[in-house]
């Protein structure tokens, strides 16, 4: 294809204002070349083409306003802040600045005219804007309103919108000078059918919307890119699949007698759904090609026993099984289950714990390498070079969403021996919307455990404001007095683990003080794994009544007596994550409750979202609804949908394109196979390169 000075070879250094520091920051966003800049698309747009009367502002809505300063002073109460009141005749609003300079204070003097852009929020004294962007207007003509929508890009620390807008503007100029460097790859027929602009044009429209550009115009440009991105993903995953189908795997079957033994020894009967999925796995394992199956089942649906049954099949043919869990805590829980179910049948189950050191570690590595250990459990550390298997026949990965697609593929390579590739079984509690199943997992077969074991009572979920905290605390006292246990989950707005841990520490201290009769435990992500294990063990043994936790408990911990969960600030988490957290309760007999304690006021969308959790316990439904519900202004909302992260595409929004994407993939392979490689590189970068091997 085009080999001219392609934009992905063009270094950032050729742009004005892209010095070393800026380049470092861009690298954090995955931007290494001019080409990458062009594909760094706006998250959304801000409408600064008009002014909103202050009297018409609403909570939670971003707006541009103009007004005259009536008063500027330090806040009378609460955290130190500079408060500046402006009004425009229709109403007034407070601007609040927690960080400010003396100079700023003098500039905001009474009678000054300001133009501000920010989100109006309900404060103690009516609506306010915290740290709005503002400019002082010396004369109205000096600052005309912008004529077109203003793009807002994903940022990283130290990088400003303005800088990014400037750099992208230069990148667009380069593209304009050398349009051939970004060749068009969509078949002509596809573009015509959907009225898609060519790629370069679509990029320009999204980065620099024309004055008066309608949402539809932007939408079509965005769809144009989403289409191409989905096409690239689809091609990449179907390639993986084709390649794997060329490999051979050991053919494994479990005798009738062994099956019977296994089931007899279980303390419960399998559910219909478990039986069905077990049969699907058994059929794969008998085949000559490596199984690549994903088992989806809601929390508590009993995936572990299904995995153990698959493990037994490999063991019975003298193959080893590796079981990988996302955390040590969870690996250890699996160790207990696998030992209980498989050791009576003669299997040796070993745990390659991170804390294992020196001679003990060497011994464990030896039994793995010499094939004495049948089942080996651990975290991703299992796949370090020092770990060698003798005859690996099956790899089981729990909670797939913690591991990337490419990690998973690397594992497969690791286990190859004598020309045989191990089978792979992946288990996840994250519901996969139908659309994702169609696309994101094109390289996997999917089984669903859609039935919970009998005897579970549904979790009663309530949505309550944090102002009712005292009631919630009283409820915990009652609950614990009945001999039951509870969780208290702290979340925090920033994606900062440190802050989350601090919040949990603080909450635990407060609860300990308020509830001297309750034994309060604390677990968070910054604790060493040995410390976490001690706390978890105490909670399991009912030596702790109330466990204050960060979201680390999300995955897999099983304590049936803990039937009450309080989640603070649930509005900050995704519904799928909340659903997973809630799955920790309702695992035993007796009723169970989940209290979603939000920070008021909530936007309507947030209310609706939490309401979904109250109404249903169906993980699939929750995932679908979560996809559908999105806030206003999220025109280009790029968000992570479970497993696959897209730059532009959004499966809920772009679902209607999927059939056409599949057809286009076939057409491209048939008519323009030479475009496939460059297309994958364009959208998937290194991952795309990997797909080409």
Residues that bind ligand ADP (CB under 6 A): 268, 270-271, 274, 297, 299-305, 429, 453, 558
Residue 271 contacts which entry, ligand ADP, Mg ion, none (Cβ below 5-8 A, type-dependent): ligand ADP
CB 253, min distance to ligand ADP, A = 23
Nearer to ligand ADP, 222 or 304 (CB): 304
Nearer to Mg ion, 393 or 556 (CB): 556
Nearer to ligand ADP, 409 or 432 (CB): 432
CB 364, min distance to ligand ADP, A = 25
Distance CA 400, CA 414 (A): 18
CB 299, min distance to ligand ADP, A = 4
Partners of 177 in the beta sheet?
none
CB 594, min distance to ligand ADP, A = 16
Pair 88, 100: CB distance under 8 Å:
no
Helix (H) or strand (E) run with residue 426 in it = strand 423-428
CB 528, min distance to ligand ADP, A = 24
Nearer to ligand ADP, 558 or 634 (CB): 558
CB 534, min distance to ligand ADP, A = 21
Residue 305 contacts which entry, Mg ion, ligand ADP, none (Cβ below 5-8 A, type-dependent): ligand ADP
Other C-beta atoms within 10 Å of 611: how many? 14
Residue 301 contacts which entry, Mg ion, ligand ADP, none (Cβ below 5-8 A, type-dependent): ligand ADP
Nearer to ligand ADP, 332 or 568 (CB): 332
CB 265, min distance to ligand ADP, A = 13
Give strand ranges (E) for 544-590: 546-549, 562-568
CA atoms within 13 A on the CB side of 381: 14
Residue 629 contacts which entry, ligand ADP, Mg ion, none (Cβ below 5-8 A, type-dependent): none
Q: Does 326 bind Mg ion (CB under 5 A)?
A: no
Nearer to ligand ADP, 119 or 558 (CB): 558
Helix (H) or strand (E) run with residue 45 in it = strand 44-46
Distance CA 565, CA 462 (A): 11
CB 462, min distance to ligand ADP, A = 23
Q: Which range binds Mg ion by CB under 5 A, 115-123, 473-481, 529-537, 550-558?
A: 550-558
Tell which residue, 40, 53, 127, 47, has the closest CA to residue 89. Answer: 53
Q: Which range binds Mg ion by CB under 5 A, 45-53, 313-321, 552-560, 605-613?
A: 552-560
Residue 234 contacts which entry, Mg ion, ligand ADP, none (Cβ below 5-8 A, type-dependent): none
Other C-beta atoms within 10 Å of 280: how many? 18
DSSP code of residue 572 = G
Q: Does 556 bind Mg ion (CB under 5 A)?
A: yes
Which residues, numbered 661-680, are part of the site for Mg ion (CB under 5 A)? Answer: none
Residue 69 contacts which entry, ligand ADP, Mg ion, none (Cβ below 5-8 A, type-dependent): none
Nearer to Mg ion, 556 or 642 (CB): 556
CB 323, min distance to ligand ADP, A = 12
Pair 1, 183: CB distance under 8 Å:
yes
Nearer to ligand ADP, 427 or 665 (CB): 427
Nearer to ligand ADP, 53 or 588 (CB): 588
| Pairing between β-strand 520-523 and β-strand 546-549 as defined by DSSP bridges | parallel
Residue 300 contacts which entry, ligand ADP, Mg ion, none (Cβ below 5-8 A, type-dependent): ligand ADP
Tell which residue, 446, 422, 451, 450, has the closest CA to residue 436. Answer: 446
CB 342, min distance to ligand ADP, A = 14
* Nearby residues of 360 by Cβ (< 8 Å), 6 or more positions away: none
Q: Pattern 509-548, binding to Mg ion, x per CB under 5 A? A: ----------------------------------------
- Can the peptide bond before residue 601 be classed as cis, meaning omega within 30 degrees of 0? yes
Residue 445 contacts which entry, ligand ADP, Mg ion, none (Cβ below 5-8 A, type-dependent): none
Nearer to Mg ion, 187 or 556 (CB): 556
Pair 598, 575: CB distance under 8 Å:
no
Cα→Cα distances 198→41, 44, 654, Å: 16, 21, 19
Angle at 606 between CA 604 and CA 608, to 5 degrees: 70
CB 640, min distance to ligand ADP, A = 22
Count of positions on this chain that bind Mg ion (CB under 5 A): 1
Partners of 137 in the beta sheet?
113
Ranked by CB distance to Mg ion, the top (closest) residue is: 556
Cα→Cα distances 88→48, 68, 112, Å: 17, 6, 12
Residue 424 contacts which entry, Mg ion, ligand ADP, none (Cβ below 5-8 A, type-dependent): none
Distance CA 152, CA 161 (A): 7
Tell which residue, 337, 294, 328, has the closest CA to residue 430. Answer: 294
Residue 302 contacts which entry, ligand ADP, Mg ion, none (Cβ below 5-8 A, type-dependent): ligand ADP
Distance CA 498, CA 490 (A): 12
Burial 625-647 (b: 16+ CB within 10 A, else e): bbbeebeebebbebeebbbbebe
Nearer to Mg ion, 151 or 297 (CB): 297
Nearer to Mg ion, 118 or 556 (CB): 556
Tell which residue, 650, 653, 553, 575, has the closest CA to residue 620. Answer: 575
Pair 392, 415: CB distance under 8 Å:
yes
Residue 596 contacts which entry, Mg ion, ligand ADP, none (Cβ below 5-8 A, type-dependent): none
CB 485, min distance to ligand ADP, A = 16
Nearer to ligand ADP, 581 or 668 (CB): 581
Residue 299 contacts which entry, ligand ADP, Mg ion, none (Cβ below 5-8 A, type-dependent): ligand ADP
Burial 358-392 (b: 16+ CB within 10 A, else e): eeeeeebbeebeeeebbbbbbbeebbeeebebebb
Residue 98 contacts which entry, ligand ADP, Mg ion, none (Cβ below 5-8 A, type-dependent): none
Q: Residue 599: helix, strand or coil by DSSP?
A: coil
**Which residues here bind Mg ion, judged by CB under 5 A?**
556
């Amino acid at each position: 294809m085009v080999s001219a000075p392609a934009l992905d070879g063009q270094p950032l250094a050729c742009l004005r204002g892209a010095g070393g520091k800026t380049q470092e920051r861009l690298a954090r966003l995955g931007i290494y070349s001019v080409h990458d800049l062009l594909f760094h698309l706006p998250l959304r747009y801000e409408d600064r083409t008009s002014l909103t009367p202050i009297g018409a502002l609403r909570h939670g809505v971003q707006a541009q306003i103009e007004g005259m300063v009536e008063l500027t002073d330090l806040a009378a109460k609460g955290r130190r802040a500079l408060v500046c009141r402006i009004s425009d005749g229709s109403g007034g609003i407070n601007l609040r600045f927690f960080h400010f300079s003396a100079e700023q204070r003098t500039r905001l003097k009474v009678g000054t005219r300001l133009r501000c852009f920010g989100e109006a929020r309900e404060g103690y004294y009516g609506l306010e804007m915290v740290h709005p962007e503002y400019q002082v207007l010396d004369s109205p003509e000096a600052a005309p309103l912008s004529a077109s929508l203003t793009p807002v890009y994903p940022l990283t620390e130290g990088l400003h919108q303005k800088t990014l807008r400037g750099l992208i503007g230069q990148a667009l100029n380069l593209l304009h000078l050398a349009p051939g460097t970004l060749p068009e790859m969509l078949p002509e027929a596809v573009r015509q059918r959907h009225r898609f602009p060519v790629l370069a044009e679509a990029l320009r429209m999204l980065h620099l919307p024309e004055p008066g550009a309608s949402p539809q115009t932007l939408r079509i440009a965005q769809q144009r890119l989403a289409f191409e991105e989905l096409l690239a993903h689809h091609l990449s995953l179907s390639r993986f699949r084709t390649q794997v189908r060329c490999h051979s795997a050991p053919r494994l079957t479990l005798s009738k007698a062994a099956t019977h033994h296994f089931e007899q020894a279980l303390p419960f009967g399998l559910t219909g759904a478990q039986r069905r999925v077990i049969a699907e796995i058994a059929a794969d394992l008998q085949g000559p090609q490596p199984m690549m199956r994903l088992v989806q089942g809601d929390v508590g649906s009993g995936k572990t026993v299904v995995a153990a049954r698959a493990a037994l099949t490999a063991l019975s043919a003298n193959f080893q099984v590796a079981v990988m869990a996302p955390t040590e805590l969870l690996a250890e829980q699996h160790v207990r289950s696998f030992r209980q179910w498989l050791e009576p049948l003669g299997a040796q189950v070993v745990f390659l714990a991170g804390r294992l050191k020196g001679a003990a570690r060497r011994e464990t590595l030896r039994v793995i390498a010499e094939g004495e250990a049948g089942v080996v459990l651990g975290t991703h550390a299992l796949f370090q070079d020092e770990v060698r298997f003798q005859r690996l026949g099956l790899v089981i990965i729990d909670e797939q969403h913690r591991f990337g697609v490419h990690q998973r593929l690397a594992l497969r390579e690791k286990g190859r021996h004598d020309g045989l590739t191990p089978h792979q079984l992946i288990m996840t509690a994250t519901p996969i919307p139908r659309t994702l199943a169609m696309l994101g997992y094109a390289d996997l077969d999917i089984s669903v455990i859609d039935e919970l074991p009998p005897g579970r009572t549904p979790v009663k979920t309530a949505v309550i404001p944090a102002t009712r905290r005292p009631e919630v605390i009283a409820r915990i006292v009652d609950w614990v007095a009945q001999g039951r246990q509870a969780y208290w989950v702290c979340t925090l707005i920033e994606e900062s683990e440190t802050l989350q841990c601090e919040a949990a520490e603080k909450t635990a201290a407060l609860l300990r003080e308020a509830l001297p009769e309750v034994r309060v435990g604390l677990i968070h992500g910054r604790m060493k794994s040995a410390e976490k294990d001690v706390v978890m063990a105490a909670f399991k043994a009912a030596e702790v009544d109330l466990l204050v936790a960060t979201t680390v408990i999300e995955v897999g911990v099983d304590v049936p007596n803990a039937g009450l969960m309080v989640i603070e600030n649930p509005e900050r988490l995704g519904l799928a994550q909340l659903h997973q957290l809630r799955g920790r309760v309702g695992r035993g007999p007796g009723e169970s409750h989940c209290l979603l304690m939000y920070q008021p006021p909530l936007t309507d969308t947030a209310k609706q979202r939490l309401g979904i959790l109250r109404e249903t316990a169906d993980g699939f439904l929750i995932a679908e609804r979560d996809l559908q519900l999105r806030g206003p202004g999220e025109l280009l909302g790029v968000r992570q949908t479970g497993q696959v992260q897209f730059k532009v595409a959004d499966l809920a929004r772009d679902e209607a394109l999927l059939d056409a994407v599949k057809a286009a993939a076939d057409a491209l392979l048939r008519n323009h196979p030479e475009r496939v490689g460059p297309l994958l590189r364009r959208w998937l970068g290194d991952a795309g390169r990997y797909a080409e091997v």
